[in-house]
Structure 1
Amino acid sequence: MKDEWAKNLSPDTVIVIAEGAGQELILPSDKSNKNRPDAASDDLFHDVGLWLSLKIKDHFARSKKMAINLKYIDPTYMIRAIPSNASDNVFCTLLAQSAVHGAMAGYTGFTVGPVNGRNCYIPFHLINEGQKRVMITDRMWARLLSSTHQPSFVNPLHITEEAKA
């Protein structure tokens, strides 16, 4: 595999890989190649995320031009910690369709998310810009608490004061 992809990495890079993607890149003799069953089928997929993280570490170890701090996270069980409901399925479908639409339109370096009730393309550089606040008086927060069955630990007096502000 050529290391051309490494030239495009910025100092702060997040790489997200879909489960089961990149199977053709992994050689059967690769030691990092661990099979794991896919949740949706009985097929065994190689862990391409682990394989890619090892390739990136190898690349930077060989080049010795830059020290890296690479974190590999497999969020499979974190994501599947709570059963999805119909609202989750609809919301994720809309986000996925918007992301594909943006990619097919030629946009790169963006994510899709709700902004003022509409799905919008959000450039990556804006995601980390400034401090974000969660509005605990918003419907989205109430829906989150309701769908995840989490209790609200917020004092009702604080909600009233925040709503006034």
Structure 2
Amino acid sequence: MLVDQLLLLARFENQKQNIVPESIYLNALILDILTLYSDKINAKKLHIKFKAEEDYYIHSDTYLIMIILRNIISNAINYTNAEGDITILLSKENNKTICLIKDNGIGIDQEDLETVFNPFYRSRSSEHPEIKGTGLGLSIVKRISELLHVKFKITSEIGEGTTVVLNFGENMKTL
């Protein structure tokens, strides 16, 4: 996994990652990711609320969008305490598809909100040795989001949780 993540980062640095645009059914992609992590969700007895009032499609690169969503959902699962809540909402706002992923986990210090995008940085990792990771996930998410022109916003409060908003706007790169 670490080697794959490092290779992916190297491709982005050298702009060698080809974008393969296609229609992506976000509802199904999110459900697939939740299924992928179902053992961990069940082991932690997490409460997952997935709400999508309609079918949501975007035009982008399926593999890269999957990497974004897998990293964010994985973080929500990893950093939410047992029996915690994770909410995933798909909606439309001004003809743009919005994906909100919110957890009530441990949260991120305000001063770390920008630093968490640096490769290998993990906020307060020594306080949570049980949570495994390389510190590359959000760095990769940020680079892919920039490459695809996905607006990415993260807010967090210690002890309250983290909210990530992905705005799949009209300016998404589809070349």
TM-score normalized by structure 1?
0.24
By percentage of residues, which structure has more strand?
Answer: 2
Find the structure with the greater CA-based Rg: 1
Instruction: Name which structure has the greater RCO, CA cutoff 8 Å, separation 6+.
Output: 2
